[in-house]
Structure 1
Amino acid sequence: MNAVAQATAPAAASRMAWLRRRPMISTELLALLASLFFTVACNYELWHTLVADLHAHARLVVAVFVFVTALQAFLLGLVLGRWTAKPLLTVLFATTAFAAYFMGTYKVYLDPDMIRNVLETDPGEASELVVSGLVLPLLGLAALPIVALWRLRLRRRTLLRAAWIRLAFLAGMLLLAAGGALLAFQDLSALARNHREVRYLVTPANYVASLSKVLLATPPGPAKPLQPIGEDAHELPRASGTRPRLLVFVLGETVRAQNWGLDGYIRQTTPRLSAMKDVINFPDVESCGTSTAVSLPCMFSPQGRHAYDAKMIRSHQSLLHVLQRAGVQVLWRDNQSGCKRVCDGLEFESTSNAADPALCNGKRCFDEILLSGLQARIVPDGRDRIVVLHMLGNHGPAYYQRYPPAFRRFTPTCDTEQLGDCSRQQIVNSYDNAVLYTDHVVASAIDLLRNQPGYDSALVYVSDHGESLGEDGLFLHGVPRAIAPSQQTHVPMVMWLSPGFAGQQGLDLACVRDAADASASHDNLFPTILGMFEVQTAIYDPKLDLLRRCKHA
């Protein structure tokens, strides 16, 4: 034996010995072990909700444990093969680690609406969620199991033997799932019937099923053209000698009524708007959804929440298309993640490339950027106009980045995206400072409109949804609408009408102020704004127009 062979022989023997020491298991056992790992290590929110919130007894908890583990093992058994098991489980371990972290940190439900939010999140929003707190979950729930996974060897079998064993495994898992269900069938069926949202806590089944629903509802390829609505829409002629109308619709983000100064909050978070005696506040307004992906398309649709149909809303044109068809010029200015197709084909401006050093830091801009250059975009030309300003507002968790230093009035603040590192009061302080800045931006927009001699102007501000700030352990938003707390659905809304605009409409402003105390919702926006431009169409619902009863005959 030559010297080279003598030198390499021990190394080769060592490698063979290392390979022999790698455990060998069947793909079926791997599926069961992976399911057990997911059930035990990645479903804290499921078990916490069952025990602490729903007070489930031990038999029901055991039944859920057996049912979930067996069902997930069955599903894994359908897709895991000798060559696919490791790549697929690697993806599942990594993705589930992220899911478990965000569910545990913010107590979110991974339903289709939340998954749609994730898919539509822009890079700036996504980067704010990548924090140091992710390190340990990724290490424990992803890195370690992935290393162990790739250390394993999967047993080889003949095709026929593999098929019979796989069928037996699948049948066994179905029987085990059935046994788990029968262990506490009455309670389990009551849980499924009365607390359907719990299924969106079962990880990874929740995000896999929700992602599938979203993808199936969104066929690949270019988006289909939106189907038209309000094709009969037309504006009534303005009275001779009147000026064109200008409405600025300020679409707020994640501001809740509970922290809105005009709604009686203990802190004065709306000092400028409160000082404007001609601003009309609506204290009892409900949002359509608990996320931008739901509320934004909904509030611009004729269906709204009262006739909610997500597929119809997303496949049809919006209020803005109806206005444009009737002759109103439309402009959408965005400091967020887009208009969710509400403004498809209409004039759109994004602040993503804005470079104002006073308002932008290279990643984000403060919301005053929406007013920058606006005067040049609304030069009167005889036509009516609506301008939508889509704010970044109070989008969390980085509340401290939503306002300039001059608005850091409530201290100490939570100056990190990792809310777990802050006290609840610090979180609330940062959130309130962001509300204070929203007040400043909206009031500045009203000041701009007061000085428009070429228009009769008006402004409407409303938030798309609210936010949880630690109540009942909840943070951020996106809880399924059926069980969402009021903090996520009760939103602020204000309206300002110039004397000329009110005069054109024949509006009794005292009547409007009185009517503002009644309950309202996002459903009122579609007909109210059509009415403000005196647009006639069959899809206009006068019963939902907030201003109609205050117009002189």
Structure 2
Amino acid sequence: MKFPRIHSAYLPLAAASFLVLAYNVNFWKSFVAATGGFRLGNLPVYLGSALLLVLIFSGVLALVNYRRLFKPVVIALLLLSSVTAYFMSQYGIVVDASMVQNVVETDVREAGELFSWKLVQTVVLLGLVPSWLVWRLPVQYGGLRRSVLANGGVLAGSLLLAVALLFILFKSLAPAVREHRELRFMLTPTNVFQAANGYLKRKLTTPTVVAPLGTDAAKGSRWAAVGNAQRTVTIIVVGETARAMNFSMNGYGRETNPELARERELINFTNVSSCGTATAISVPCVFSDLTRDGYSEDKARSKEGLLDVLHHAGLDVVWRDNNSGCKGVCARVRFEDMSKPVPGDPLCNDEECYDEHLLEGLPEMIRNASKDLVIVLHQKGSHGPAYWKRYPAGFAKFGPVCQTNELEQCTPEAITAAYDNSILYTDYFLSRTIALLKEAGIPASMLYFSDHGESLGEKNMYLHGAPYVFAPAEQVRVPMMLWMSQSFSQRFHVDRACLAARSGQPFSHDNVFHSTLGMLNVSTAVHNPKLDLFQACIHDT
């Protein structure tokens, strides 16, 4: 195929137009909605905004419009934009620093679940084909001096026109941009560079020295009352992608919690919010002494967390993982990776292990422990989009289920059915954990909470990771439950009726750090009684 020769001065405008129009369907949908919905009277605003972006992109591309530089840069942008556009269109996500962190810190198995033939088709049609055309396009370049002058003219002209257009449209654009901050996370490919820049800033400013926290921690008076005659064990279950609204114990129509509903000693907290909408944010946050408003990755990584404080108090701490790691919070305690498939284990397949695998060997660990134990179990839970892979076949109670990661091929009912089955399996897993603690015959407790929720197509959003400022309730409201044996609540003087009476009050991940210290009667200056939900329900005699 022979292409007509094009002068290099036209390249930035042509490439900018294609980038703005071909890869930003979701952006334009949201932009139209943000400006009051589609109306013919708004047509000048839509066309003017498109031209404004084309001019800005064109000015930037003029900076690289040189022989042997322009084509590789544009091809890279086309390929990057095709991948980004696919995930934004497929799952309704937006791209910010947290989303980049999710991508970087995910494991191979989780990343593989996002692969699909539609992704391949999108990359071929919107990435490879345009890239091939760009590569084959004959371009007429002048000498270096002439190119510098021409590109400078394109840059200056584009920016001057953009400023003039912005002045004209400012009154119409300002309210939409100010009230809909999500728009800047949706414009491809600038969202990727903005997000990558934010992520790298976090990483580069992360200190290498971790400051100690709670080194004064010690077991309080309620431990001394019974001495060391009988050990205790506490299991903290960190759920994955479980949203509170799909738990029947919270009023959901389907019976997704048949086992937990029978646990008379279980206290279910019905109004709990997460610290973030992604594991990479919520897990470090919930195990830190920082509140959501004061949290940053730099602050959390620069000092020790809850597990370190418990270790300072003399408890043995173990983290068992069936997910993609502990995000740094277990760096100084014993870590056991339970996510790798074990040949011959009925709780594992060729790809991964079910959450019950986390319980293997726990009775022996508890029985042989020489100290009081805190064990963290990090679930695979309901991680999507392959919800149907998260539970054994025997838990496929609801159906028909969606069995593809291309969620647009499934009905909302099939997606929800697969997700609900994963919650049903979590219900069974938690009941098995409680049964294991009962059999141990020692003072025991279990605290369960999920790291974040999940969107199942509501408002055309899927999965999780939306910026918290406009994240939907489906991604923020999470389940939290507490189980204590009679001997545990008696030993630590916990008024169970008092806790049950507080179960409907608003709590969040902010309460977990301080409530765990309060529940286990760990005395330390870093304990904040105001965030300890046990504080009002401990009655010393």
Q: Common fold, TM-score beyond 0.5? A: yes
Distance 1:377 1:35, change over 3 A: farther
CA distance in 1, matches of 2:49, 2:525: 51
> Aligned match of 1:340 in 321, 324, 327?
327
Letter paired with 1:121: T
> Is contact 1:59–1:184 with CA below 8 Å preserved after alignment?
no
Compare 424-433 and 500-509 and name the one that shifted more: 500-509
CA distance in 2, matches of 1:147, 1:199: 29
Distance 1:486 1:162, change over 3 A: same
Distance 1:444 1:170, change over 3 A: same
Query: In the TM superposition, what is the alpha-carbon distance from 1:98 to its structure 2 partner?
Result: 1.0
Alignment map for 1:310-389 (pairs within 5 Å): 310-355=297-342, 356-389=344-377
> Is contact 2:207–2:301 with CA below 8 Å preserved after alignment?
no
Q: Deviations over 1:458-486 (max 9, x none)?
A: 00110111111111111111111111111
Distance 1:459 1:411, change over 3 A: same
Alignment map for 1:27-106 (pairs within 5 Å): 27-52=8-33, 54-55=35-36, 57-106=42-91
Compare 232-241 and 83-92 and name the one that shifted more: 232-241
> Aligned match of 2:226 in 235, 240, 251?
240
Query: In the TM superposition, what is the alpha-carbon distance from 1:527 to its structure 2 partner?
Result: 0.1
Structure 1 position 471 matched with structure 2 position 458:
yes
1:12 equivalent in structure 2: none
Structure 1 position 176 matched with structure 2 position 157:
no
Structure 1 position 124 matched with structure 2 position 109:
yes
> Is contact 1:245–1:533 with CA below 8 Å preserved after alignment?
no
> Is contact 2:65–2:151 with CA below 8 Å preserved after alignment?
no
> Aligned match of 1:278 in 265, 268, 290?
265
User: 1:333 aligns to what SS in structure 2?
Assistant: strand
> Is contact 1:110–1:206 with CA below 8 Å preserved after alignment?
yes
> Is contact 1:246–1:456 with CA below 8 Å preserved after alignment?
yes
Compare 299-308 and 124-133 and name the one that shifted more: 299-308
CA distance in 2, matches of 1:480, 1:128: 22
> Aligned match of 1:258 in 242, 245, 254?
245
Query: In the TM superposition, what is the alpha-carbon distance from 1:504 to its structure 2 partner?
Result: 1.8
Alignment map for 1:393-408 (pairs within 5 Å): 393-408=381-396
What is the RMSD of the two structures over their aligned residues, measured on CA atoms? 1.9
2:491 equivalent in structure 1: 504
> Is contact 1:80–1:88 with CA below 8 Å preserved after alignment?
no
Structure 1 position 294 matched with structure 2 position 271:
no
- Normalised by the size of structure 1, how large is the TM-score? 0.92
CA distance in 2, matches of 1:392, 1:225: 31
Q: Deviations over 1:29-62 (max 9, x none)?
A: 3232222111101000111112245525333322
CA distance in 1, matches of 2:147, 2:503: 69
> Is contact 1:306–1:523 with CA below 8 Å preserved after alignment?
no
CA distance in 1, matches of 2:115, 2:53: 29
1:203 equivalent in structure 2: 188
CA distance in 2, matches of 1:176, 1:121: 43
Structure 1 position 231 matched with structure 2 position 231:
no
Letter paired with 2:267: I
Q: Deviations over 1:443-500 (max 9, x none)?
A: 10010011113x3110011011111111111111111111111111111111001112
Q: Deviations over 1:317-355 (max 9, x none)?
A: 221112112222111111111111111132111123331
Compare 118-127 and 229-238 and name the one that shifted more: 229-238
2:438 equivalent in structure 1: 450
2:417 equivalent in structure 1: 429
Query: In the TM superposition, what is the alpha-carbon distance from 1:26 to its structure 2 partner?
Result: 4.5
> Aligned match of 2:147 in 157, 162, 176?
162
Query: In the TM superposition, what is the alpha-carbon distance from 1:205 to its structure 2 partner?
Result: 0.4
Query: In the TM superposition, what is the alpha-carbon distance from 1:65 to its structure 2 partner?
Result: 1.2
> Is contact 2:34–2:180 with CA below 8 Å preserved after alignment?
no
Distance 1:381 1:207, change over 3 A: same
> Is contact 1:72–1:205 with CA below 8 Å preserved after alignment?
no
Compare 320-329 and 247-256 and name the one that shifted more: 320-329
Distance 1:141 1:447, change over 3 A: same
Compare 279-288 and 190-199 and name the one that shifted more: 190-199
1:412 equivalent in structure 2: 400
CA distance in 2, matches of 1:466, 1:54: 29
CA distance in 1, matches of 2:348, 2:35: 46
User: 1:379 aligns to what SS in structure 2?
Assistant: helix
2:204 equivalent in structure 1: 219
Letter paired with 1:344: A
Query: In the TM superposition, what is the alpha-carbon distance from 1:95 to its structure 2 partner?
Result: 1.6
CA distance in 2, matches of 1:265, 1:213: 38
User: 2:417 aligns to what SS in structure 1?
Assistant: helix
Structure 1 position 441 matched with structure 2 position 429:
yes
Query: In the TM superposition, what is the alpha-carbon distance from 1:361 to its structure 2 partner?
Result: 1.4
Distance 1:534 1:26, change over 3 A: farther
> Is contact 2:207–2:298 with CA below 8 Å preserved after alignment?
no
CA distance in 2, matches of 1:259, 1:472: 17
Compare 264-273 and 66-75 and name the one that shifted more: 66-75
> Is contact 2:233–2:372 with CA below 8 Å preserved after alignment?
yes
> Is contact 2:341–2:351 with CA below 8 Å preserved after alignment?
no
Which runs of 5 or more residues in structure 1 are unaligned? 1-17
Runs ≥4 residues deviating over 4 A: none
1:390 equivalent in structure 2: 378
Distance 1:483 1:499, change over 3 A: same
CA distance in 1, matches of 2:465, 2:184: 15
CA distance in 2, matches of 1:375, 1:26: 74
Letter paired with 1:240: V
Letter paired with 1:389: L
CA distance in 2, matches of 1:275, 1:81: 71
CA distance in 2, matches of 1:231, 1:546: 23
CA distance in 2, matches of 1:60, 1:380: 71
Letter paired with 1:446: I
Query: In the TM superposition, what is the alpha-carbon distance from 1:144 to its structure 2 partner?
Result: 1.2
CA distance in 2, matches of 1:70, 1:317: 48
Query: In the TM superposition, what is the alpha-carbon distance from 1:252 to its structure 2 partner?
Result: 0.4
Identity %: 39
User: 2:268 aligns to what SS in structure 1?
Assistant: strand
Structure 1 position 190 matched with structure 2 position 175:
yes
